[in-house]
Chain A
Amino acid sequence: MSDKAEKHDFLIKFSKSGSISVFKKLCSKVLRRSRPVFLDSEYIPVKSTGRNSGCDHFKIGKHLARLKASHLKEYMIFKCSCNQICLSFPIIQGSSVYGYVLFMHIGKDPGKAAVDAAKQCMDLALREFQKEQELNKLYETIRPRAIALSTIHTIHRLLSSTLNMDELIERIARLTLQVMRSKHCSIMLLDESGRYLIPKAVIDLNREIPRAGPQYKKIRLGIKPEGRVAKSGKVVILRNLVCVPLVEEDIIGVISARDKTNDAPFDKFELEILTTLAEQAVIAIKNAQMYEEQEKMAYGSIKALAALLDSKSPNTFTHSDEFVKIVLAIAEEIKLSREDIISLHYSALLPDTGKFSIPDEILKKPEGLSAGEYAIIKKQHLESIKIIEHLEFLKPAIPIIKHHHERYDGTGYPDGLKGRNIPVGARVMAVANAFEAMISARPYKGKKISMAQAIKEIVRNKGTQFDPEIVDAFVRITQRPDFTYTMEASG
């Protein structure tokens, strides 16, 4: 804004401010209710600042110019073209005159004392207005930043609530799109070689393709704006693109927003927001990566343990890959939480750890068990589970492994739990376990039956041996066109 425009803007705001209203009231008696007219520093009446008498304000301005009132920087009492007494106050900011306030046709000369009092009121009004202006400026500067800060805090809360990498990356992209008001957002991470950027999430409002797909090709470092950002670590801001690096000690990728929904150019404020968002995103991505690594280690440990048990007695302690698949399918069908699904996955990899201390002659007995043998199984089941209690990450899985031989009607073992007192994971495992036992003819489970017969048998035991809701979910899964259960895949 030019100096002249700034002064003009100041005068308009001042003429409409609350401070000048108070000034008008204070001066109304002394100045015969004359309403002030504002002139700029070149004595030109400022538009939208009110009108006064029938006097021509331009002529008054010219009259004042002749008197060179600005040189005086003091109030002036003078007669206008219609020979009426008028009063003018200079509006001074620092050392420069911004303009004048004219009170026209005020009747008789109010006298020095009254004018001095009016001048003091004027100074007070100016000081009040300055304070008002400063507060407004502070509000205009701080409020958007405070709102932006709150937005970043909300984004942090949204990002830190998931450790699932796919979900996280898509969430970052959606939030970026929202906060940048852009039509397109992409998140690319460097591959292991560090030479290419791999698109992990691409959202395009025009196409609505939520995930990275083959249509989004990897980008070589140094090529295209994204590649250059990843190579240099420096942000790029163009009219329709803003791209910032994802940095955690080294560059791990880039995040970019393209084309604003209102077709306006990206500005520095938005660059600042995206940079802060990228910092939040990096922390969340790193946490998710660490969690993924921990999960891999946990699965690795469980698989090693399962392999160890299998080497003692193949297919006794572990089940087929299909068994794990159906357990997880039921868990998803009944919408278990991610944490519950992970615990169930661990349990499904080691379902029969409880058999570890059971003597082989009982385990492999082809015919039914005696009451004594059944008692041994119940006792040894609990003893065996104690072995895995030392593995901290397996603790949530222990109740599932421990109780998957409970029956819904309370006649199972080891604790005779009933209904929903049985952990939900254990109820899921019970159905999948019985299904696999029937179609694979395990020892002491009788002869192998067909898949259809096994499903029928499970439905027959709905509400007695099995949780009805889980049986219903299981049946729905088996009715899917793509349902298969291949025992050849047994581990």
Chain B
Amino acid sequence: MINLKSLFKNEAARKVLLFFNENPNCIDTAKGISLWIGLDIEVIQKALNLLLKEGVITIHQSASTDAYAYTNNKAIVKRIEKYIKNI
């Protein structure tokens, strides 16, 4: 079970989640996401790794590119939406 409370306590993870919740069609690199969110790429990369581990985001990889996207899991997305509404 994903601990959203703990994820939302992490500023970068919260911002990434809010970003993907607002732009669910987005697929982007850590660099791109850091640009949209306005945080350092290192901080974003750490947050992405954490969110990936929790199964909230997915990764699409090629030899030269790691791209991140929002999960397609309807139940998880609904839980996050509900959590954001209640913040």
Chain A binding surface SS class: helix
A155, B27: Cβ atoms closer than 8 Å:
yes
Return the CB mask of A238-271 against B: 1 if under 8 Å, else 0.
0000000000000000000000011000000010
Return the CB mask of A162-192 against B: 1 if under 8 Å, else 0.
1000000001001101111100000000000
Question: B residues 32-87 with Cβ under 8 Å of A?
Answer: 32, 36, 58, 60, 62-65, 67, 69, 72, 74, 77
B26, A147: Cβ atoms closer than 8 Å:
yes
With A154-B29, A154-B65 known as contacts, the answer to whether A147 contacts B23 (CB < 8 A) is yes
A261, B27: Cβ atoms closer than 8 Å:
no
In the complex, A273 Cα to B27 Cα: how many Å? 12
In the complex, A177 Cα to B72 Cα: how many Å? 9
B77, A161: Cβ atoms closer than 8 Å:
no
* A205 interfacial contact with B, CB 8 Å: yes
| Residues of B within 8 A of A (CB-CB), count | 20
* B25 interfacial contact with A, CB 8 Å: yes
A181, B27: Cβ atoms closer than 8 Å:
no
B32, A154: Cβ atoms closer than 8 Å:
yes
* A223 interfacial contact with B, CB 8 Å: no
With A144-B23, A158-B67 known as contacts, the answer to whether A205 contacts B28 (CB < 8 A) is no
* A148 interfacial contact with B, CB 8 Å: yes
User: Which of B25, B64, B65, B67 has most A Cβ within 10 Å?
Assistant: B25
Min CB distance, A339 to chain B, in Å?
10
Return the CB mask of A270-283 against B: 1 if under 8 Å, else 0.
10010000000000
Min CB distance, B30 to chain A, in Å?
11
B62, A150: Cβ atoms closer than 8 Å:
no
In the complex, A261 Cα to B58 Cα: how many Å? 15
A150, B32: Cβ atoms closer than 8 Å:
yes
* A151 interfacial contact with B, CB 8 Å: yes
In-complex Cβ contact of B28 among A151, A161, A171, A180 (8 A) = A151
What chain B residues lie within 8 Å of A205 (beta carbons)? Answer: 72
What chain B residues lie within 8 Å of A261 (beta carbons)? Answer: 72, 74, 77
In-complex Cβ contact of B67 among A154, A162, A270 (8 A) = A154
B27, A154: Cβ atoms closer than 8 Å:
yes
Nearest to B24 among chain A residues (CB) is A181
What chain B residues lie within 8 Å of A174 (beta carbons)? Answer: 60
In the complex, A389 Cα to B62 Cα: how many Å? 32
B65, A158: Cβ atoms closer than 8 Å:
yes
Nearest to B35 among chain A residues (CB) is A150
With A155-B27, A161-B64 known as contacts, the answer to whether A262 contacts B72 (CB < 8 A) is no
* A157 interfacial contact with B, CB 8 Å: yes
Nearest to A273 among chain B residues (CB) is B25
A181, B72: Cβ atoms closer than 8 Å:
yes
In the complex, A144 Cα to B69 Cα: how many Å? 15
What chain B residues lie within 8 Å of A161 (beta carbons)? Answer: 62-65
B25, A175: Cβ atoms closer than 8 Å:
no
In the complex, A162 Cα to B65 Cα: how many Å? 12
Show the binding face of A for B, using Cβ within 8 Å: 144, 147-148, 150-151, 154-155, 157-158, 161-162, 171, 174-175, 177-181, 205, 261-262, 270, 273
What are 14 sample pairs from A and B whose C-beta atoms fall under 8 A apart? A147-B28, A147-B36, A150-B36, A151-B25, A154-B28, A155-B67, A161-B62, A171-B60, A175-B60, A178-B72, A179-B25, A179-B69, A181-B25, A262-B74
Instruction: Given contact pairs A158-B27, A175-B60, enumerate 6 new A-B contacts (beta carbons under 8 Å).
Output: A147-B26, A154-B65, A161-B63, A161-B65, A174-B60, A181-B25
Show the binding face of B for A, using Cβ within 8 Å: 23-29, 32, 36, 58, 60, 62-65, 67, 69, 72, 74, 77
